[in-house]
Each structure stands twice: as C-alpha cells, then as structure tokens.
Amino acid sequence: MMKLTAEISMYPLHDNYLEPIRWFISRLDSYPQIVRRTNAMATQVQGDYAELMAMLATEMQAAHEKFGKAVFVCKFIGGELNLSHSE
C-alpha cells in the first residue's frame, strides 16, 4: 500500500474566511485512517495514497458546494514524512 503526505491550504474568497477553514479541517478529522497536523500556515495530512486523494476530492467539493469560491493550494510527496519534525 503506497502512502502519501500532502500539505493543503484553503483560501475562501469571502470576508468570513475562518469559518470555512475550521469547517474544512473538522471534516478532515472525520477520517480516522488519515493523520492530520495543522499549523498557522497549512494543514498536513497523511495516509494511504488512494484514500487520501479520494478524501481531498470529496472534501474540496463539499467546501465549494457549501461556501462557494475558495482556492486550495496543495503539495504532495509520495511516502510518509515525520509531521512532528521541526528545525
């Protein structure tokens, strides 16, 4: 089973931007097989490649349907990274 680590940032295109971001992050937490870490700049998620990509597709679509226009910026790297690492 191939693993994937992704970093995602959501930029809702309206004034009340924190509500959609918090909603999106809480939706990611509903997937027990996905590991999530969030900091002030972005959210990192990690799990099985296919499951993670399916989750992101589902939840980005749900966010667009609920809140309208939003920009998602993502970075992907194959494999598992230590999400607790810092220097």
Q: Residue 30: inside a domain, yes or no? A: yes
Q: How many domains, the chain?
A: 1
Q: Residue 31: inside a domain, yes or no? A: yes
Q: Which residue, among 22, 19, 28, 41, has the nearest Cα to 86 in the 3D structure?
A: 41
Percent of the chain clearing pLDDT 90 (strictly above): 85
Q: Residue 86: inside a domain, yes or no? A: no
Q: Residue 63: inside a domain, yes or no? A: yes
Domain boundaries, position 43: 3-78
Kindly state the tokens that stand for 49. 């490649």
The DSSP H or E segment spanning 77 is strand 70-78
pLDDT in tens, 32-72: 999 999 998 999 999 999 999 999 999 999 999 999 999 99
Whether pLDDT at 87 is above 80: no
Q: Residue 40: inside a domain, yes or no? A: yes
Q: Residue 57: inside a domain, yes or no? A: yes
Q: Residue 83: inside a domain, yes or no? A: no
Q: Are 33 and 48 in contact (CB under 8 A)?
A: yes
Q: Are 34 and 47 in contact (CB under 8 A)?
A: yes
pTM of the prediction?
A: 0.90
Which CATH number do you get for residue 48? 3.30.70.930
Q: pLDDT at position 26, please? A: 97
